Copies of this chain bind each other. A is one copy, B any other.
């Protein structure tokens, strides 16, 4: 039986999710409150396919809906991509809870708000969770699944299975935490990076090269834990015995929130492509990410 999925919000993330579900064979219903976004959504999806090398024929699986009620009618899963504003999210979830049956899972792409903030008090809070993608999800497969305190374990099981079925890589968190996992790791890297740059130890380009042509390559194949497991003859415990004290010392002296200064931002901005190039470079990034994804899949 064809799975039926609703995507709420037709911006960049909503369209990328639409493609994730459609290319996996789901029937996708896309709704956005803005009539203009709805009118251009199919053309934008075709353009997204062109950039990522995805087969545009899967767009035939997508229906643009004129209202939310039609979009979410008898769907298995709602992927919500509304603005990261608490009041708006609360309104959307009250509406989604009212419009959907008890079997429908309501998943938010929220990166900043945890589910308890917008699910609180709703009858359907056991079927609400965060399914946080990396931008954009059609070329980066990881999805953080973060339950609220009332999310049912069975809902988390179904969420994990669905994400695997549509070829994403679900990472299941056991409870809410500010920033989930991915942005917590990004935050510590950004803080220390900005500090090293502002202190003049390294240029922004040099910092990027260190990750891009160094750690990032290892981490693309292995992840930080699998990486250190191979960096000592006796595996991860041997590594932490040998290098743990050094790593602890380095993290003790690492930068924190104070590193996010105006001056660091100025230095980085001066060394990077101008804002006028952001759109074109993002397109190129997505094309290259799609190619990298295919390479990694074929060479696994």
Contact = CB atoms under 8 A, between A and B. Distances in A.
A166 interface: no
A211 B206 contact: no
Interface stretch (A17-25, A34-42, A229-237): A229-237
Contacts of A229: 268-269, 272-273, 278, 281
Interface string A269-294: 10111110011011001001101110
A282 B217 CA distance: 14
Given A201-B177, A247-B191, A292-B221, A278 B233 contact: yes
Main SS of chain A's interface residues?
helix
Given A207-B224, A215-B182, A188 B254 contact: yes
A134 B214 contact: yes
B215 A250 contact: no
A190 interface: yes
A208 B265 CA distance: 29
Nearest to A235: B275
- Chain A interface bracket (under 10, 10 to 19, 20 to 34, 35 or more): 35 or more
A253 interface: yes
A171 interface: yes
A289 B221 contact: yes
Total copies of the chain: 2
B201 A212 contact: no
A14 to B, nearest CB: 17
A228 B140 CA distance: 16
B257 A249 contact: yes
Nearest to A257: B248
Interface string A251-270: 11111111110001110110
Given A234-B278, A236-B272, 11 more contacts: A169-B213, A171-B206, A181-B206, A188-B250, A189-B224, A204-B225, A212-B222, A225-B272, A247-B260, A248-B257, A295-B295
